[in-house]
A and B are shown apart, each in its own frame.
Chain A
Amino acid sequence: MKNRRSLWIPLAAFAVLAAFLGVGLTLNPRELPSPLVGKAAPAFSLPQLHAAGEVIAPEGLRGQVYLLNVWASWCSSCRAEHEHLMALAGTRELPIYGLDYKDERDAGIAWLHRNGNPYIASAFDAEGRAGIDWGVYGVPETFLVDAQGVVRYKHVGPLTPAVIEGRILPLARELARHG
């Protein structure tokens, strides 16, 4: 070989490729950056799950920092996060509202009866139109909304204590201080 240094080029190229692929492996393809963060919470006006005659709308929730959790009785990962939502609701630190997404009313009510109800109220989105407006693509999803009605944080997938303690609560406390 005339030039021994050129031998290293394929190895270097491979190392670069491996580094890129390695980083790619650690990323979760389901976690997409939400364009909603920093924008006003999309409006909806939906019947409540437990009271079909009463309407729940984000405008009515203004003036408080709250969590909107998108869930459904058919969603198995919602079971995984439910105990953490129950624990959070137990602290009474952050009001939690639910959006029952593409569900049957009876099934949703039965599910909450069985597993406990951490929500102050749940909106019932049978057709998933509000879900589309909120950019929901994988249940469960959770949004933190500030007192001015601006979405501040979005989490896709089941909540974990690490996410609640590490991201949501610190941000909610900060928003409550400044709001």
Chain B
Amino acid sequence: MARFVAMLLLAFASLAQAGEARPVAADPVLEARVSKLAQELRCLVCQNQTLEDSHAPLAIDLKNQVRDMLASGRSESEVVDYLVARYGDFVLYRPPLKATTLILWIGPLLLLAISLLALLHHIRRGTAAPADDGRIDAEAARRADALLGLHPGKDSP
């Protein structure tokens, strides 16, 4: 019972928060479209958050703008074009593939390819080189003993 009450309270708490922070359109289908699009758009004030996550005043304004535009029958791509025309590609969480963003898109793949090649090269060279048999020569053993403070030539007690 206590658990049920707690769950109920939690449910109301989240409702209260949702009502305060973002006005939800009466139409759940529209709201789903707004949320989906808002997840692709960057909040320009808190730059590492999406519009969907952010509660900054500008993010809420922009989300309302998105909702109004979708409600008035504009398509998702029209809304995105509208925002890009005003805020630039930065507003997109998924930047478009073009000359200025090429390094952004292929950079990681390039690094991965280089690393794989280097790794391959390293492995090949490792197998080609004569295997280390684990033994050291007498001179090196004497030096090691001397460094360790053992007396060379004497047997351990």
Contact = CB atoms under 8 A, between A and B. Distances in A.
A binds B: yes
A93 B86 CA distance: 29
B47 A35 contact: no
Interface stretch (A61-69, A126-134, A158-166): A126-134
B90 interface: yes
Interface residues of A, number: 19
Contacts of A60: none
Contacts of A42: 86
Contacts of B45: 137-138
Chain A interface, DSSP helix/strand/loop, else mixed? loop
B62 interface: yes
A105 interface: no
A36 interface: yes
B58 A33 contact: no
A14 to B, nearest CB: 14
B87 interface: yes
Given A137-B45, A138-B45, A35 B61 contact: no
A2 B85 contact: no
Interface in A118-143: 127-129, 131-135, 137-138
B57 interface: yes
B134 interface: no
Interface of B: 44-45, 47, 57-58, 61-62, 65, 84-88, 90, 129
Interface of A: 2, 29, 32-36, 42, 102, 127-129, 131-135, 137-138
Given A128-B61, A131-B61, A137-B44, 11 more contacts: A2-B129, A29-B47, A32-B87, A32-B88, A35-B87, A35-B88, A102-B57, A128-B58, A132-B65, A135-B88, A138-B45
